Structure 1
């Protein structure tokens, strides 16, 4: 659901579109049919129209393949997957009824081909950050880049309007099975899907989340923006231009944090969130702000095997009043996290609309910071083989855009944690963000107990 302010901003943006492009859009306004978008899809659609160059909603995955790669079998495997999951065959267009998705019949999937003659980063960067035209292109693409006859790089990019991180895991699992079946000359062994994604999208639009929205709107009303000290003037319009710094949390600190978590009856996520809030509060000189938390949004078992965009964002309000000690802050975070997690089905877009926030194109609404902890690697994405091919994850350059002014993501690495801090390159210099990452890891050490 797009708020009136967001619609007005979109109309302002469309007014600046070149005449030939505007004429094409005008023709689609009379187009009928199509199927509704979920609230989350509609917001991503709006953002992609507001800034077509923004690639922060691209979901990339690249793997090295070693062995006798059969390109025709790969292309056939991707076609099988697209035939199963209709959202991969969708086109997204504005109609007289608003934005709609049009599902095309199953057909071949283009496997782009190329040669790698040196550093893979530049061509992968160009592939990952090439914008999608969602009106005429499928919301995903794949490429196979050859190094030698026995070594190739497979690159996959999905648009978040059609997929999320969980969906990428599903795709890699099905790719392994479909490719192996093609090589072995058999039918792939895949379970029937319990429903279509468009059925989910329609049900999300019609679901009554009134009580959840009322509770969250009351809890979040009046939350001030997070104002971290910036190195550069804030642009009049949010662009999403981003960069990133990497960091690690040592194993001994993680073990101490786990002991602290058990004492305070919190999860490690809650304690790490408390440390992140404390870091942001101390840096900005604030006691009240919101941090967004991405969640899978697959609350029903039938959603698990589906490719689609189910992910949601939860807004966790920080309460740093009274300069709480680590234990007290962890308990406050536990209470706030439980409150929003029990209402995780309320679409973030509807929460934003219910708050009726003032229009401000220079920043993202409500949550200027994001935090995520990936508890375990997704096994099917990190599988060591695809059929008879050895597979090894290639991290690639990532997106040049960010979904928040600052966003921390952590995941297990050995007995410690690896982390990445994405940030707005419009606002912050790299040295400031390295200092912020160091401050966060130092704060995490305060939320620990000795052995």
Structure 2
């Protein structure tokens, strides 16, 4: 029931809301998707999944008309930071906070064990549809999450898993040391206390990023990953590093409309030496990314168990930084709601959802950066551990990232040590 694994989205509803009808819609979504009705019990020292026949959820209606907007958002965040119960349920909490007769805040919280960005998108879409009166019985059937679990079990027993393990073992041989991004001494133990901040890149910068990716024949996610590797070189002289990113395993028909945790955290390794140009580094990251797409289904925890990398208390194996690029095309609802930015979702519908920013006071990793293009601009949400990384350290690193990335795009063949010398960073929009 670790709170950092709560997946939270929030919205403002500038319309009258029928709370009983909304609760019925929540229950309908849970009945359609067994992953949201699954609890985890222990027997004989091993965890087991139990799918409940009836939905188990929290649906709370509160009145915050006496609070100003900032206070109300903070109160909403409190509900988002309360734990969910894996042993008994629920794995879902929905909070409807009244701000006025036709003004509400809505929080949808699902434990990450049962959800990901694509799942949140499905849940929001279905919640709106069922609230508007669509009969759940007429909705297209979806593949239950148990199909994915069985598929993964069979995959792990086959030759593809052996090939993937061999590929990863060669790519992760002699791993680099963990990153030290802060002069602050790392506190002992494991902590999930976190802080967050946001950033935004202009439409002009976003267009330059997109056009560069097209010219180079790579994805934007590859460019931003390569840019962060280059930033680590400029910030700390790093010449060999591993970053993590999340990737969806939804290749089979029907899985795109299912709710469950279909993600795997995968690793990208690159060597951003100062005498290399950005285009050369980009090609390395692109080639690594193409390879990992063939072998992305090997779960990270099993990979760590097999390869036994050096471990340190409170740190993930191999990596300390996660950088995710979220597709606004694939997840148009959840990306907007997660970042709290963008146009209202279904503005003419019965449940119009206006993205609402809510603070997240938690962090699973030293630094986790989630980025997306919304409304023609790149927006970013950053979670970090303040016990190790001070806010000024994070903002300086983000400023340097912006400078390194766009200077490298403008001069992709210059050596990194001549692009964006350390200390020369543009102003950020945090």
Normalising by the residue count of structure 1, what TM-score does the alignment of the two structures yield?
Answer: 0.82
Counterpart-to-counterpart distance in 2, 1:238 and 1:222: 25
Is the CA contact 1:293–1:372 (under 8 Å) kept in the aligned structure 2? Answer: yes
Is the 2:74–2:358 Cα contact (8 Å) retained in structure 1? no
CA distance change for structure 1 residues 102 and 282 in 2, over 3 Å: closer, same or farther? same
Aligned to 1:412: 373
Distance in 1, matches of 2:84 and 2:120, equals 18
* Structure-1 residue corresponding to 2:141: 192
Measure, in 2, the Cα distance between the counterparts of 1:242 and 1:225: 24
> Matches of 1:363 and 1:297 in 2, distance apart?
25
Further displaced range: 333-342 or 260-269? 260-269
How many Å apart are 1:322 and its aligned residue?
5.8
Partner of 2:164: 212
Match of 1:85 in 2: 33
How far 1:380 moved relative to its partner?
Answer: 4.0
**Partners of 2:30 and 2:37 within 8 A in 1:** yes
- Structure 2 CA distance for partners of 1:187 and 1:276, relative to 1, 3 Å: closer
2:7 paired residue number: 59
Equivalent pair of 1:279/1:443 in contact (CA under 8 Å)? yes
| Distance in 1 separating the partners of 2:390 and 2:410 | 34
Given the superposition, is the C-alpha separation of residues 58 and 163 from structure 1 closer, same or farther in structure 2, using an over 3 Å criterion? Answer: same
Which residue pairs with 1:432 in the alignment? 393
Instruction: Give the distance between the partners of 1:188 and 1:62, measured in 2 at CA.
Output: 27
Aligned equivalent of 1:148: 100
1:391 maps onto 2:353 in alignment:
yes
Give 1:354 shift. Answer: 2.1
Give the structure 1 partner of residue 287 of structure 2.
335
Structure 1 residue aligned with 2:408: 447
Q: Distance in 1 between matches of 2:349 and 2:377?
A: 32
1:348 aligned to which of 294, 297, 300: 300
Change (3 A) 1:105 1:380: same
Q: Which SS does the other structure have where 1:181 is aligned?
A: coil
Residue aligning to 1:43: none
Give matches, 1:191-340, under 5 Å. 191-193=140-142, 195-208=143-156, 209-321=161-273, 323-340=275-292
Report what 1:171 is aligned to.
123
For the aligned residue pairs, the C-alpha RMSD in angstroms reads: 2.1
Q: 2:332 aligns with which of 371, 374, 379?
A: 379
TM-superposition CA deviations, 1:109-131 (whole Å, max 9, x none): 44211111212122111100001
Query: 1 CA distance for matches of 2:136 and 2:396?
Result: 54
Q: CA shift at 1:218, angstroms? A: 1.4
Summarize deviations over 1:297-340 as a string: whole Å, max 9, x none.
21212211111010111100011246311111111111111111
Q: 1:146 to 1:257 in 2, by over 3 A?
A: closer
| Corresponding residue number in structure 2 for 1:369 | 321
Whether the 8 Å CA contact 1:132–1:139 is kept in 2: the answer is: yes
Distance, in Å, in 2 between the alignment partners of 1:90 and 1:108 is 9
Q: Following TM superposition, by how much is the alpha carbon of 1:275 offset from its aligned partner in structure 2, in angstroms?
A: 0.8
1:373-398 deviation line (CA, Å, top 9, x unaligned): 22325334452348423321212112
- Asked whether the 8 Å contact 2:241–2:269 carries over to 1, the reply is yes
Q: Aligned-pair distance for 1:261?
A: 2.8
Aligned length: 393
* 1:420 counterpart SS class: strand
Summarize the Cα distance change of 1:99–1:108 in structure 2 as closer, same or farther, 3 Å threshold.
Answer: closer
* CA distance 1:447–1:359, change in 2 (3 Å): closer
Is the Cα–Cα contact under 8 Å of residues 287 and 319 in structure 1 kept in the other structure?
A: yes
Residues 92 and 99, structure 1, Cα contact 8 Å, conserved in 2 = yes
User: 1:70 matched to which residue of 2?
Assistant: 18
Partner of 2:166, secondary structure, is helix
CA shift at 1:191, angstroms? 0.4
Whole-angstrom CA distance in 2 between matches of 1:275 and 1:216:
23
What is the aligned partner in structure 2 of residue 33 from structure 1?
A: none
Q: 2:112 aligns with which of 157, 160, 182?
A: 160
Measure the CA separation in 2 of the matches of 1:81 and 1:421: 30
Structure 1 unpaired stretches of 5+: 1-47
Instruction: Report the CA distance between 1:287 and its aligned residue.
Output: 0.9
Corresponding residue number in structure 2 for 1:14: none
**How many Å separate the matches in 1 of 2:49 and 2:211?**
49
